[in-house]
């Protein structure tokens, strides 16, 4: 049985950019806000953190900053994914040296990979690190999908701890649970699917919503961990409209915009991320107002 790196709510935290780089003072404030509001783990330099627009050096410095700022008060999961296996290993080894509790590794994108290639990619990195890895399955962004049989093969590796499952494919989740049992932990990668995934044995969520509602997401996952699924379902339903608004355009455009509207100063988006369409912006403002967030 593999102990999960964390249980509960992990925020996929934004990276506050200035024109000339990362605003580390603001990042520190966002981290403190998360810790003060019950967040169980922080994922730094993931998709929501716009890691794909960062240089290797900037990515590494940002990971180091987050780990040092958290200082053991919650878990830190460092993004370490790449479509280049050697680059993924470099990021993974750096995060391990910096003290990360876990590594989040997205499937190779653009060049993609066969199932055999996925096994070789993750095994290559896992053989060379001593920090547990979370596989990140988000085929809508990468064009690459896992099969349950591939999850099973990877579950045999002691350094592969689990999956951030953002495919929305509950048949795949069910097959994976049946094949892998306690050897592969699963976290939801979609805020609107936390309750059903945790009802199937999931350990929590890696969340976008937690950027603006950390206590809510923490409470939701705790209800699930306590087996109070009916109560959790009501809470998830309550925030469905907000979740929808946060994905009205590609992530992290809406959540960063929401944070700035709320006075949280999440900084600039980096191209090719851009300002929201006016109609979508109006919808987001309306929904935030309905939730009392403006």
Residues tagged active-site: 136, 164
Closest CA to 233 of 287, 270, 195: 195
By the 8 A CB rule, do 106 and 81 touch?
yes
Closest CA to 13 of 3, 26, 89: 26
By the 8 A CB rule, do 79 and 52 touch?
no
By the 8 A CB rule, do 200 and 177 touch?
yes
Distances (CA, A) of 248 to 10, 46, 253, 279: 22, 19, 9, 10
How do beta strands 21-22 and 17-18 pair? antiparallel
Tell the residue number behind the tokens 């987001």, with chain if given. Answer: 284
Strand partners, 43: 12, 77
- Dihedral angle of Cα 153, 154, 158, 164, to the nearest 10 degrees: -140
By the 8 A CB rule, do 154 and 122 touch?
yes
């Amino acid at each position: 049985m593999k102990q999960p790196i964390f249980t509960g709510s992990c925020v996929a935290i934004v990276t506050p950019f200035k024109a000339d780089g990362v605003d580390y003072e603001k990042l520190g404030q966002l981290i403190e806000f998360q810790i003060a509001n019950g967040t169980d783990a922080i994922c730094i330099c993931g998709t929501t953190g716009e890691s794909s627009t960062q240089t290797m050096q900037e990515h590494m410095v940002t990971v180091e900053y987050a780990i040092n700022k958290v200082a053991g008060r919650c878990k830190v999961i460092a993004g370490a994914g790449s479509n280049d296996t050697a680059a993924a290993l470099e990021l993974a080894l750096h995060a391990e040296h910096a003290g990360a509790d876990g590594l989040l590794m997205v499937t190779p994108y653009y060049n993609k990979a066969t199932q055999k290639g996925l096994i070789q990619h993750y095994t290559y990195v896992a053989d060379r690190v001593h920090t547990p890895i979370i596989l990140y399955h988000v085929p809508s962004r990468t064009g690459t999908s896992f099969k349950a049989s591939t999850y099973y093969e990877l579950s045999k590796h002691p350094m592969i701890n689990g999956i951030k499952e953002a495919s929305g494919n509950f048949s795949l989740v069910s097959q994976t649970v049946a094949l892998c049992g306690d050897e592969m932990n699963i976290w939801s990668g979609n805020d609107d699917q936390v309750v059903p995934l945790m009802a199937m044995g999931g350990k929590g969520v890696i969340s976008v919503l937690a950027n603006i509602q950390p206590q809510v997401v923490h409470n939701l996952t705790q209800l699930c961990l306590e087996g109070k699924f009916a109560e959790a379902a009501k809470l998830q339903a309550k925030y469905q409209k907000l979740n929808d608004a946060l994905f009205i355009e590609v992530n992290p455009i809406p959540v960063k915009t929401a944070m700035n509207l709320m006075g949280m100063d999440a900084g600039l988006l980096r191209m090719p991320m851009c300002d929201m369409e006016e109609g979508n912006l109006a919808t987001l403002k309306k929904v935030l107002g309905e939730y009392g967030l403006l």
